[in-house]
Chains A and B, each alone.
Chain A
Amino acid sequence: MAQTTTELEPGGAIVETPPTTLSHDLHESTEAAEHGTSGLPQFEFGYWPGQIFWLLIVFAILYVILSKLFLPRVGGAIEARAAKIEGDLADARAARDEAERQSAEAAAELAQARGRAQKTAADAKAAAKAEADTRNAAEEAKLHERLAVAEAGIQAGREKAMANVRSLAAETAEAIVEKLSGQAPTRAEVDAAIARNAA
């Protein structure tokens, strides 16, 4: 294989520094005959086999590299992303469902607690009311009793006073009658007279 060095020159031409092999000169001469300038450079058919050969080789290598290595990688990344998004969405959906479930649970618990609290409050209120009622009743009964005792005391006092008044009246009447008539009436007569007037 001939060693060549290439460099780019304005105009797109690639200039070759001639290799120092004998075969090249031989080749050059045949080439000049083959690739004579006849119109479009594209129709210099002497260069076709090389282009076709290298095109097929390069294409085949590129095909293998892309189909075995890079396309699966790129496709894998796209699929991984789609799967990740799908997974994340599913996770988010599950988390949302869980949160909703917990929120419902909490609401139910709250309602239950509120019910319980209300019941407790009602119970306490009822108990307190009952206690107050019984205490009131007891107090009232006690008061009634005291009232009755007091009333009885007053009644007794009045009766006693009335009795005192009668005896006082009898004595007074006895004294008045004695003064007026000069004769003391008997106690029985006086009592009878008082009873007649009091009736």
Chain B
Amino acid sequence: MADPMHQFEIQQVLELPAVAGFDLSITNSALWMIIAAASVTLFFAAASAKAAVVPGRLQSVGEMLYELIHNLTDSIIGHEGKRYFPFVFTLFAFILAMNLLGMVPYFFTSTSQLAVTATLGVLVIAVVIAVGFARNGLGFFKLFVPSGVPFFVLPLVVVIEVISFLVRPVTLALRLFGNMVGGHVVLKVFGGFVVSLGALGALGIVGALVTLTGTVAITALEFMVAFLQAFVFAVLACVYLNDVVNLHSH
């Protein structure tokens, strides 16, 4: 059976000179990020080319995605949400594109790389912290001091709040990473079963058919996961942004 981890191996595509000792060469991971971003760009170029009053199919899908995230920022962050809409939308579209491209056989899934998901998680938290300080100054630290807590448990609560805040990028990164890796490994293993069972004769072929059905079902599930994880990432980015945008209401 093929090694299910082989699909995650990083290969160098375009070698670039190291900068300050760091290897910044374009790998297959970076290449598929670029392809994902190019796909998003091409898709929206096509979807918004006509900007017709009666939208065509492409434009409808583009507007559906737009309104999906727009409603998200609007309902979670509120009126201020539209300032952060482009950021959340870029996150969503980029992750969705990387996830969906990964569903195509022989394509590489950039979001199965912890380096990628961790960077995205840290990016979200960095933006949250920047927005928090920009809007509230030092009042940002009130985020860790919930009101209405008795003073003798306050230190404990503050410690818990700080830890839960620091854990956010980790959970963001691991959730996306785990979902993508898990799904792809399961698909690979099941696909491998189909082949190896099929080689075992008549009974094996029956088993292979059962496994094949499972593989098809998991493939459908993985498409849903690809969309859902991008959506969850966007939702959590909105929730974390809302914490610092509407700090006073805590």
Binding site for B on A (CB under 8 A): 1-2, 4, 6, 8-16, 19, 23-24, 27, 31, 34-35, 40-44, 46-56, 58-59, 61-63, 65-67, 70-71, 73-78, 80-81, 84
Q: Mark B1-38, 1 if CB is under 8 A from A, else 0.
A: 01001111111111111100011111111110110110
> In the docked arrangement, what's the CA distance between A41 and B62, Å?
35
Q: What residues on A are CB-neighbors of B86 within 8 Å? A: 63, 66-67, 71
A180 to chain B, nearest CB (A): 140
Looking at B59, B90, B114, the one whose CB has the most chain A CB atoms below 10 A away is B90
Closest-by-CB residue of A relative to B29 is A51
How many pairs of residues, A versus B, come closer than 8 Å at their CB atoms?
180
Partner of B115 from the list A48, A58, A67 (CB cut-off 8 Å) is: A48
Contact in complex: B28, A41 (CB < 8 Å): no
10 interchain pairs (CB within 8 A)?
Answer: A16-B12, A27-B15, A49-B22, A49-B24, A54-B30, A55-B120, A66-B40, A67-B87, A75-B70, A76-B51
Q: What residues on B are CB-neighbors of A80 within 8 Å? A: 51, 53
Closest-by-CB residue of B relative to A56 is B119
Q: What residues on A are CB-neighbors of B10 within 8 Å? A: 35, 41, 44, 47, 51
Known interface pairs A58-B33, A77-B48; 9 further A-B residue pairs with C-beta atoms within 8 A, sorted by A's residue number? A1-B14, A4-B14, A13-B28, A14-B13, A42-B112, A44-B10, A55-B116, A58-B37, A74-B62
Closest-by-CB residue of B relative to A19 is B15
> In the docked arrangement, what's the CA distance between A80 and B171, Å?
40
Closest-by-CB residue of A relative to B40 is A62
A43 to chain B, nearest CB (A): 7
A116 to chain B, nearest CB (A): 50
Q: A4-B13, A77-B55 are in contact. Are A51 and B48 (CB under 8 A)?
A: no
B50 to chain A, nearest CB (A): 8
Q: A11-B7, A27-B15, A51-B29 are in contact. Are A74 and B63 (CB under 8 A)?
A: yes
Partner of A63 from the list B25, B90, B110 (CB cut-off 8 Å) is: B90
Q: What residues on A are CB-neighbors of B8 within 8 Å? A: 40-42
Contact in complex: A10, B106 (CB < 8 Å): yes
> In the docked arrangement, what's the CA distance between A81 and B59, Å?
13
Q: What residues on A are CB-neighbors of B28 within 8 Å? A: 12-14
Q: What residues on A are CB-neighbors of B112 within 8 Å? A: 42
Q: What residues on A are CB-neighbors of B160 within 8 Å? A: none
Contact in complex: B113, A42 (CB < 8 Å): yes
> In the docked arrangement, what's the CA distance between A66 and B65, Å?
13
Contact in complex: B17, A71 (CB < 8 Å): no
Contact in complex: A65, B41 (CB < 8 Å): yes
Q: A54-B30, A71-B89 are in contact. Are A47 and B23 (CB under 8 A)?
A: yes
Interface presence of B163 (CB below 8 A): no
Contact in complex: B37, A51 (CB < 8 Å): no
